[in-house]
Amino acid sequence: MAWELTGNSGTNAASNFLGTTDGKPLIVQPGAGNVGIGSRTPQGKLEVNGNWDEQHSVGALTLAGDKPTIRFSGGAIAGNQQWILHEGSDGPGDLQFFNGGTTGAFSRPVLSLTPDGNVVVTGDIRLANADCAEDFEVASAEPVEPGTVMVLGDEDTLQPSQHAYDKRVVGVISGAGNYKPGIVLDRQSRQEKRSPVALLGKVFCKVDARYAPIEVGDLLTTSDTTGHAMKATDPAQAFGSVIGKVLRPLLEGQGLIPVLIALQ
């Protein structure tokens, strides 16, 4: 392989050419150091430092071509170690993630981002946390603790429950104990007086067992204790005010127990 000081017409080694002209690859081997483009102190093997160029609609690093692709490899072909990030210019223009699995064959995308902003997933979506919550405006001037039972108030705001068998109940403030929200809907940039309310799934809930012992499988409703649920002992009154089903008993006093949210 010959090292050349000039490349295409109009280039020279003193200003803008570094490479070979005989069809062989250019290998950069900085020893134990790193390579920086736009960076004098690169921290990784290759570091590209630059800004978005709004005038030309380009970033610090641009991949061009009919099918621009980045390949990620964790070493020898093995499960989940071979990935490709590919812009599907041969199809609908999706940004697609392929996984080669144990064979290295990239047959179909496992995740696609479409030009109109949709996400297409071919496998299961697994969330590590427990409930589906939605952010609501809270009327209280003070922060409401996770686990608090909430009801509808005035002007589309929520407030802690205060009455038994309240049909305005909407759910429980998410995040108490070791259960955190897996999905939060309607998250907005202004969050000062908004809290996530669990609408579906498992959540820790404040309960008061002084009205009646609470056992696994019992249905819960609102109580006269602010922000606390109790066992629903009157089926007629409970209709429309049930919060969920008990997953752990509390036979006396007040406490925080896991429940399965099932508004009805």
pLDDT in tens, 220-235: 999 999 999 999 999 9
Q: Give the contacts of 48 (CB within 8 A, at least 6 positions apart).
A: 37, 38, 39, 60, 61
Domains of the chain: 1-52 (no CATH), 65-126 (no CATH), 131-261 (2.40.300.10)
Instruction: Give the pLDDT means over successive 10-residue stretches in the chain (264 positions).
Output: 56 65 72 84 89 82 81 67 72 76 68 86 85 90 90 89 96 93 87 87 97 97 97 94 96 97 88
What does the alpha-carbon distance between residue 86 and residue 94 come to, in Å, rounded to a whole number?
Answer: 8
pTM of the model: 0.70
Q: Is the dihedral of CA 259, 199, 163, 225 positive or negative?
A: positive
* Residue-wise pLDDT tens digits, 100-146: 765 656 667 888 888 888 888 888 888 888 889 999 999 877 789 99
Residue 35 near residue 47, CB atoms below 8 Å: yes
Interatomic CA distance for residues 243 and 232, integer angstroms: 9
Tell me how far CA of residue 116 lies from CA of 113, 119, 185, 238, in angstroms.
8, 9, 20, 45
d(CA 171, CA 182): 16
